Amino acid sequence: MAFALPVWLAVHQELLAHEEVDRGAPTCFDEFDDESLFQLFHLTRPCITFITDTVRARMNKVVMKKPVVSVDSLVMVTLDYYAHGVSSASILDRVGLSQAHSPAIISLVSGTISGMVDQFISFPQTEEARANVAAKIEQICDIPNVLGIIAPAHFRVRASSYEDDYKSFVNTLGNTSVVSQLICDSDGNILSIEKCCVGGTSEQEMWESSFKGQEIEEDLHGPYWVIGGKGYHLSKHVLTPVPEPVSDSEACFNEAHAKIYRVIWTTIGSMKRRFKCLTQLGYAREGGLDKKSNIIKACSVLHNIAKKFSVPPPTGVGQTEPLYPGRQLSVTPGSNDEALKARQALIDSNFYVPPRSHYPSDSSSEEEDD
């Protein structure tokens, strides 16, 4: 991630600088001990305090009417939903609300947090920041000049097969989902999140139409790669594995590619363990894609904040994020010759394995030894 924790704390102070915040007042979170807080919300007290204060400052700026209930109560209801995928009656009762209030509260807070994406999700903008991200990735996989790892993050939704657009939500695993384009660094910090689409959208379609994809392909971030799976086309800036390796060098490159590519699946799996709402976002048509996009972006913001506070995800069994087979688009033969040459040059420079030599066994010496 481009920002260190002191910078994040400076952002926090700036958000609160001109706001009237009763920082010493008790909140509804004070009623829980630290262990209970983590079990309920999968976050620590300092992290929750940071989130609540930041949401409060944001709401003071963008919400005209003061909420009927306190901001910390709104945040508590929303974090409860994020952590468990449902709104707990016990939490709602604690803050004097009912299930009928829950959807509006979650929508309000999710919209508020998703509006802070630019402050807490940052693609490396300076040459120094880009070099630092690339150096850390190279330490892991020996692939140089890589700015991040890109993958489709699928989130299940319920869709009726009787709806006209049902098939558009079906992904390559046969599930109905929505999908967002996600880029992370070697530490699992999210660098970019955008393009909430129906689950049947291909990775390449999302990449070509995304703001970040257009920036990178237009050389606005320099001569760097992003690591992509087989659902992406090899290009000047998207580095994919060799489909059918014919040499030890290519096989070695593919192993390195798979090693760094696993980081993004670990990241998505970690998000879904912490925020179980992401394992089922409700009905496809309920609130449309914008509502689901706000929840996904809000959880991505909170994921980065949790990492900055070194909050581990809750443990879980069977929570490994499945690899989604890509739906590759057809490619005109010869259209990516330049990219093929660039990948081969990278393999030759960094993963060259000399051809194996076969020598006859010295059977005579073995017989003499006997």
pLDDT digits (tens, 9 = 90+) for 336-365: 899 999 999 999 999 998 887 654 554 444
Find the domain containing 37 and state its range. Answer: 5-115
Q: Assess whether pLDDT exceeds 60 at residue 67.
A: no
Are 143 and 50 within one domain? Answer: no
Q: What is the 3-state secondary structure (H, E, C) of the chain?
A: CCCCHHHHHHHHHHHHCCCCCCCCCCCHHHHCCHHHHHHHHCCCHHHHHHHHHHHHHHHHHHCCCCCCCCHHHHHHHHHHHHHHCCCCHHHHHHCCCCCCCHHHHHHHHHHHHHCCHHHHCCCCCCHHHHHHHHHHHHHHHCCCCEEEEEEEEEEECECCCCCCCHHHHECCCCCEEEEEEEEECCCCCEEEEEEEEECCCCHHHHHHHCHHHHHHHCCCCCCCEEECCCCCCCCCCEECCCCCCCCHHHHHHHHHHHHHHHHHHHHHHHHHHHCHHHHCCCECCCCHHHHHHHHHHHHHHHHHHHHHCCCCCCCCCCCCCCCCCCCCCCCCCCCCHHHHHHHHHHHHHHCCCCCCCCCCCCHHHHHHHC
Which of 99, 115, 131 is where one domain is finished?
115
Are 25 and 151 within one domain? Answer: no
Closest CA to 304 of 138, 196, 192, 215: 192
Q: Is residue 14 part of a domain?
A: yes
pLDDT score for 62:
63
pLDDT score for 332:
46
pLDDT score for 355:
81
Instruction: Give residue 148's identity as a one-letter amino acid code.
Output: G
Q: Is residue 27 part of a domain?
A: yes
Q: Return left, alpha or beta for 219; rule: phi > 0 is left, psi -120 to 50 is alpha, else beta.
A: left
Are 51 and 151 within one domain? Answer: no
Q: What's the start-to-end Cα distance of the chain, in Å?
A: 63
**Does residue 244 or residue 20 have the better pLDDT?**
244
**Does residue 333 or residue 225 have the better pLDDT?**
225
**Does residue 25 or residue 304 have the better pLDDT?**
304
Q: Assess whether pLDDT exceeds 70 at residue 5.
A: no
Computed over every residue of the chain, the mean pLDDT equals 87
pLDDT score for 19:
44
Q: Assess whether pLDDT exceeds 90 at residue 10.
A: no
- Residue range 314-330: average pLDDT? 64
Tokens at 211, concatenated = 């703001």
Q: Which residues, including other chains, have CB under 8 Å from residue 311's CB and lie 6 or more apart?
A: 42, 43, 44, 47
Tokens at 361, concatenated = 């066994």
Q: Is residue 363 part of a domain?
A: no
pLDDT score for 164:
84
pLDDT 10s digits, 90-148:
999 999 999 999 999 999 999 999 999 999 999 999 999 999 999 999 999 999 999 99
Counting residues of the chain whose pLDDT is more than 70, the rounded percentage is: 82
pLDDT score for 285:
79
Are 98 and 148 within one domain? Answer: no
- Residue range 302-308: average pLDDT? 97
pLDDT score for 328:
58
Q: Assess whether pLDDT exceeds 60 at residue 16.
A: no
pLDDT 10s digits, 27-52:
899 999 999 999 999 999 999 999 99
Are 130 and 90 within one domain? Answer: no
Q: Assess whether pLDDT exceeds 70 at residue 2.
A: no
288 confidence band (pLDDT: 50, 70, 90): confident
Q: Is residue 359 part of a domain?
A: no
Are 106 and 180 within one domain? Answer: no
Are 244 and 203 within one domain? Answer: yes
Q: Assess whether pLDDT exceeds 70 at residue 23.
A: no
Number of domains comprising the chain? 2
> Considering just the CA atoms, what is the radius of gyration of the chain in Å?
24
Return d(Cα 90, Cα 225) in angstroms, integer.
Answer: 48
